[in-house]
Chains A and B, each alone.
Chain A
Amino acid sequence: MAYIIAEPCIGTRDTACVDVCPVDCIHPAKGRTYDDGRPTFDEVPQLYIDPPECIDCGACVPVCPVTAIFPLEDLPEKWHAYIETNKNYVDGGKFQPDKYQKASS
């Protein structure tokens, strides 16, 4: 299980979630560049949670100003596509270029 960032994040990208995450599993962080060539903060429509890195602590949920983050079992049906969207950015710390481009095209 992991937490999922859904549609309300698009265009918001508040980074309080990144600041509170104890295991640094929400990406991309503002002002950070990554070695694996993944799109940076300025290039993505929303933030993503790396599913296998997430420890399900829930610290990100109350700090999101637009209620975009849900535990998997509480994710509204209409946003179920975001399960893949989150996973398609990074999965276990690995950027997924093919999956990411496919998802965003």
Chain B
Amino acid sequence: MGTLHEIIHENVREGELYEKLDRNWVRCFACGHCCKIPDGQPGVCKVRYNRSGTLYVPWGYVGGIQCDPIEKKPFFHAHPGALAYSFGMLGCDLHCAYCQNWVTSQALRDPAAAVGPMRVTPADLVLDATRQGGRVIVSTYNEPLITSEWALAVFKEARAAGLVTGFVSNGNGTPQVLEYLRPWVDLYKVDLKSFDDRHYRQLGGRLQPILDTIRCLHEMGFWLEIVTLVIPGFNDSTDELTRLAEFLAAVSPDIPWHVTAFHKDYKMTDPENTTAETLMRAAEIGKRAGLRYVYAGNLPGMVGDWENTRCPKCRELLIERNGYLITGYHLTPQGCCPSCGASIPGRWDPAFRRQITARPFVPLMRPQSDLLVLDS
């Protein structure tokens, strides 16, 4: 196929999340940047671009596919143990120096991040997901908001096959894109990276659109969980974590908050890896702010009780975890505490089904499928 830029210019169709302006300019609504784009230029994401007054958006390929336990996304209050079939495209509207998915997200800014995308149809993906035993299909790895049109095409097919759908996103949304997604997206994970606008600007965004998106997601009834990667020296001050947790608790104390451990990656190699002590301090802050479900992630077996779900009323142990592995499941079929009967917020199955995997794996379907590898 040729270069990455050729791939993203050939695998497109007209977008739905934009308006035409005069002089052949357009305004895109897919993410919080709301780029005004002149003829011939891409938006900040570099994958949505204006050609003669029409906005073209990514279509018909994936930059990566993986089977993940849903706990890895992380969703802890939605279909525990389910296999989440995860796909991504290319590009991101931010440029975080510590990105753990930079191979796909930064491929268009950084030649060192090149991957070989595959051409697929929504039916290919959904068939593969169901063959693997996936019950949830998730748009992730790159920023899904900027490839929302494609995600929706996949999700419409997925719903028809009985799958649950989800976004794993930086939350830099707009009211327009959330309205567009609402009928087709069940689960929404927002990575709230900081509570300081200056920090967000270093990552290429602003804090306010993300806070607005979190409020909207909750009000609109998406199943919302929040994750914060705790980075020593960047966002681990007690003051910042307290303000962040208090904001979430004010939206709803029922929103699960995952604080996860940083490991050195991409261009951010200066901070030390997050210790269990720091992570548990962050979790305590969340609990003190009034959040009922706080989890410490990425350090399995090292964070005590912070991997488990307990009843906020009677402290009964409801779901036990070690990393992505469910080691105990005690919720009632209605999603209630078996001891005191309190209803636990989430999207629960009538019973725990055994896990297909507690580790991510790349599906082996490629030789049997019709997917075409695009040479980059």
- A56 near B38 (CB under 8 angstroms)? no
State whether A22 touches B33 (Cβ < 8 A). Answer: yes
If the complex has contacts A59-B44, A63-B41, are A19 and B36 also in contact, measured as CB distance less than 8 A? yes
A59 contacts across to B, CB distance below 8 A: 35, 41, 43-44
Q: Does A45 contact B (CB under 8 A)?
A: no
Q: Which of A52, A58, A59 has the most CB of B within 10 A?
A: A59
A84→B70 CA distance, assembly (Å): 49
- Within the assembled complex, what's the spacing in Å between the Cα atoms of A74 and B201? 20
B34, A22: Cβ atoms under 8 Å? Answer: yes
Contacts of B41 in A (CB 8 A): 20, 59, 62-63
As a 0/1 sequence over residues 2 to 27 of chain A, the CB contacts with chain B under 8 angstroms (1 = contact) are: 00000000000000100110110000
Q: Which residues of A contact B133 (CB under 8 A)?
A: none
Cβ contact within 8 Å between A20 and B201: no
- Indicate with 1 or 0, residue by residue over B11-50, a CB within 8 angstroms of chain A CB atoms: 0000000000000010000000111111001011000000
Is the Cβ of B38 less than 8 Å from the Cβ of A20?
Answer: yes
Determine if A56 and B35 form an interchain contact, defined as CB atoms under 8 angstroms apart.
no
Residue in B95, B198, B202, B206 whose CB lies within 8 Å of A23: B206
Are A57 and B201 in contact (CB-based, < 8 A)? no
Which residues in A have some Cβ–Cβ distance to B below 8 Å? Answer: 16, 19-20, 22-23, 52-59, 62-63
- Chain A interface main SS type: loop
Number of interface residues of B (CB under 8 A): 17
Q: In the bound complex, how far is the Cα of B33 from the Cα of A16, in angstroms?
A: 16
Are A54 and B44 closer than 8 Å at their CB atoms?
no
Using Cβ atoms and an 8 Å threshold, which residues of chain B touch A20?
A: 35-38, 41
List of A residues within 8 angstroms of B297 by Cβ? none
Q: Chain B residues in contact with chain A, CB under 8 A?
A: 25, 33-38, 41, 43-44, 95, 198, 201-202, 204-206
* Whole-angstrom CA separation of A2 from B43 in the bound complex: 18
Min CB distance B49 to A, Å, is: 11
Q: Which of A55, A56, A58, A62 contacts B206 (CB 8 A)?
A: A55
Summarize B's interface: helix, strand, loop or mixed. loop
- Report the bound CA distance from A56 to B201 in whole Å: 8
Question: Looking across the interface, which residue of chain B has its beta carbon closest to that of A16?
Answer: B38
User: Cβ of B202: which chain A residues have Cβ within 8 Å of it?
Assistant: 56
Interchain Cβ contacts under 8 Å between A and B, 22 examples: A16-B38, A19-B25, A19-B38, A20-B35, A20-B36, A20-B38, A22-B35, A22-B36, A22-B44, A23-B201, A23-B206, A52-B201, A55-B204, A56-B202, A57-B33, A57-B95, A57-B204, A59-B35, A59-B43, A59-B44, A62-B41, A63-B41
Contacts of B43 in A (CB 8 A): 59
State whether A55 touches B38 (Cβ < 8 A).
no
B198 to chain A, nearest CB (A): 6
Neighbouring A residues of B95 by C-beta, 8 Å: 56-57
- Judging by beta carbons under 8 Å apart, are A52 and B198 in contact? yes
Please give the distance in Å from A89's CB to the nearest CB on chain B. 18
The chain B residue sitting closest to A58, CB to CB, is B44
A residues near B25, Cβ cutoff 8 Å: 19
Chain A residue numbers with a CB within 8 Å of B44 are 22, 57-59
Of the candidates B34, B36, B37, B205, the one whose C-beta lies within 8 Å of that of A55 is B205
Q: Which residue of B lies closest to A92 (CB)?
A: B198
Most chain A CB atoms below 10 A, which of B37, B198, B204: B204
Picked from A19, A52, A56, A63, the residue with its CB within 8 Å of the CB of B204 is: A56
Cα A57 to Cα B93 with chains together (Å): 8
Specify which chain B residues have a CB less than 8 angstroms from the CB of A56 in the assembled complex: 95, 202, 204
Q: Which of chain B's residues have a CB closer than 8 A to the CB of A55?
A: 201, 204-206
